[in-house]
Amino acid sequence: MYTDPILRVEGLRTHFYTFAGVVKAVDGVGLYVNSGETLGLVGESGSGKTVTAQSIMRIVPTPGKIVDGTIEFKGKDLLGLTEAEMRRIRGKEIAYVPQDPTTTLDPVYTVGDQLTEVIMKHQHVSKRYALNKATELLRSVDIADPHIRINQYPHELSGGTKQRIAIARALSCEPSLILADEPTTALDVTIQAQILDLLKALKEKFNIAMVLITHDMGIVADTCDRVTVFYAGQVCETGTTEQVFETPKHPYTEALLSSVPSLALRRQKLSVIPGNVPNLIQPPSGCRFHPRCSYARQICIDKDPELESIGDGRLVHCHRWKELDLKSAVAS
């Protein structure tokens, strides 16, 4: 079907057992990442993008639990590994770039301490070697004066620099997959562009696969090779960025694309998707998007559609994709 994906997730279900009930944050997610490519995960807040990424690394916070599914990374089933085996994968094989750079570095240690911690955890090298490597890493993420930065504490650095250091930390053991969870949300626009350019350049240079979580369609168009659209803990569709942007196959993608602000449509009212994100404790029956979907039929209320492969590596999660002729608001 698809050629040698480095990561394949199938039927992933991660539920949170809260006092209010079981929150089905991720409910049957399937996706794959080919080596060296960037996969964008897009969707509204609370659609399960971050929980999916946390599930891949098996760091879902309590009271969350992975209840079902398979996560296959380089042919290994990650859910079958012991915690100790998993710790050897985290940071070494799969690295994580977190959302908020302001608190991602431990305030009591210097930048050098935090980088050498990862390097020495996963590689048997001396402190001196690790420090040299750390300086090297800082240089590779375009930080000026790395020999000064290495001895500084996080509170002495700016948000953009901290995010660069977080990226340096993610790169430190040459991982084959980086999970970047909205790496630019907390930064201002100019720094955002710099960080994205940096991620793109590093990805090319080291040939790393990347999962980029975002809710910004502009970032997706700019950085991602393929996109997986999330809605309410499920996947709506997967395809190359071009495919999804030009010929969306899921009504939610169509609605999402039409609500992207555009300079060309200056005097028009921005279209919105009616309704709200569903409550994930008691999600709607059948297809979770049906209450907000303008194409919904009886079958959508009764039956949850399959995540169907429709060729060209595309997956669609909709009963009616064949009959619908969806338009893209951003297609050129």
Partner 1 sequence: MTTTLSPKKRESSRGVSQWALAWRRLKKNKVAIAGLGVVGLFALFAAFDGWPFVLTRNDHGLFAIYPPECIPPACAGGSLSTNAPPSLSHPFGTDSYGYDVYSEIVYGTRAAFVIGLGATGFALAIAVLIGLAAGYFGGWLDNLLMRLTEVFLVIPFFLLLLVFLQIIIKFSPSATGGLWLVVFIIGAFSWPGAARIIRGEVLRVREFEYIAASRQIGASANRILFRHLFPNVLHIIIVLATLQIAASVLTEAAVSFLGFGAPNSYTWGQLMNIAASYINQAWWAITFPAVFLTLFVMGFNLLGNGLRDALDPRLRE
Rounded to the nearest 10 degrees, the angle between the axes of helix 159-171 and helix 189-206 is 10
Q: Is 127 in the site for partner 1 (CB under 8 A)?
A: no
Q: Is 56 in the site for partner 1 (CB under 8 A)?
A: no
Nearer to partner 1, 109 or 206 (CB): 109
Rounded to the nearest 10 degrees, the angle between the axes of helix 159-171 and helix 111-122 is 10
Q: Is 82 in the site for partner 1 (CB under 8 A)?
A: no
Give 322's DSSP letter: T
Nearest approach, Cβ of residue 94 and partner 1 (Å):
9
Taking a C-beta distance cutoff of 8 angstroms, is the pair 78, 89 a contact?
yes
Q: Is 122 in the site for partner 1 (CB under 8 A)?
A: yes
State which H helix or E strand residue 158 sits in. Answer: none
Nearest approach, Cβ of residue 115 and partner 1 (Å):
10
What is the Rg, in whole angstroms, of the alpha carbon atoms belonging to the chain?
21
Nearest approach, Cβ of residue 132 and partner 1 (Å):
17
Nearer to partner 1, 62 or 294 (CB): 62
Q: How many CB atoms lie within 10 A of CB 271?
A: 13
Q: Is 124 in the site for partner 1 (CB under 8 A)?
A: no
Nearer to partner 1, 23 or 60 (CB): 60
Q: Is 52 in the site for partner 1 (CB under 8 A)?
A: no
Among 88, 127, 303, 322, binds partner 1 (CB under 8 A): 88
Q: Is 259 in the site for partner 1 (CB under 8 A)?
A: no
Q: Is 91 in the site for partner 1 (CB under 8 A)?
A: yes
The stretch near partner 1 (CB under 8 A) out of 11-19, 69-77, 100-108, 261-269 is: 100-108
The stretch near partner 1 (CB under 8 A) out of 25-33, 99-107, 200-208, 217-225 is: 99-107
Task: Count Cα neighbours of 286 within 13 Å in the Cβ-side half-sphere.
Answer: 16
Which three-class secondary structure state does DSSP give residue 32? strand
Among 4, 77, 136, 156, binds partner 1 (CB under 8 A): 156
Nearest approach, Cβ of residue 141 and partner 1 (Å):
16
Task: Count Cα neighbours of 289 within 13 Å in the Cβ-side half-sphere.
Answer: 28
End-to-end alpha carbon distance in the chain: 29
Strands 177-181 and 209-214: parallel
Q: Is 15 in the site for partner 1 (CB under 8 A)?
A: no
Taking a C-beta distance cutoff of 8 angstroms, is the pair 245, 328 a contact?
yes
State which H helix or E strand residue 44 sits in. Answer: none
Q: Is 158 in the site for partner 1 (CB under 8 A)?
A: no
Nearest approach, Cβ of residue 262 and partner 1 (Å):
33
The stretch near partner 1 (CB under 8 A) out of 150-158, 245-253, 256-264, 287-295 is: 150-158
Q: Is the dihedral of CA 287, 294, 45, 22 positive or negative?
A: negative
Peptide bond into 63 cis (omega under 30): yes
The amino acid at 190: T
153's tokens: 């504490």
Among 8, 24, 164, 169, binds partner 1 (CB under 8 A): 169
Residues that bind partner 1 (CB under 8 A): 57, 59, 61-62, 86-92, 95-96, 98-100, 102-110, 117-118, 121-122, 147-148, 151-153, 155-156, 166, 169
